Copies of this chain bind each other. A is one copy, B any other.
Amino acid sequence: MIEFLGISAGVLTGVSFFPQAIRVIRTKDTSSISLATYVAFCIGVVCWIVYGLVMNLPSIYLCNFVTLIPSVVVLRQKIINRKEDQS
């Protein structure tokens, strides 16, 4: 039962960023999204992936790799929008 909870936690936090990435891809709007949040979060997720690989913990590096994909999509659009705002 408890392992099921751990897997659910990993899947939920892993896939939770996909709706945000889809919304950003559709609307290109990142006005209320914090750049600092996504920079720190992406670095943290990369650290988790390296940690999981070195410690050979597939649940850690797989879940975080899933999380990294949509997070980078949001971060990329936020950086693009910021550059456009400044130009």
Contacts and interface: CB of A to CB of B under 8 A. Distances in A.
Nearest to A17: B37
Nearest to A44: B12
B20 A55 contact: no
Contact of A30 (B6, B19, B32, B50): B32
A65 interface: no
Interface in A1-23: 2, 5-6, 8-20, 22-23
Given A5-B54, A51-B5, A44 B32 contact: no
Contacts of A5: 47, 50-51, 54
Contacts of A22: 34
A32 B40 contact: no
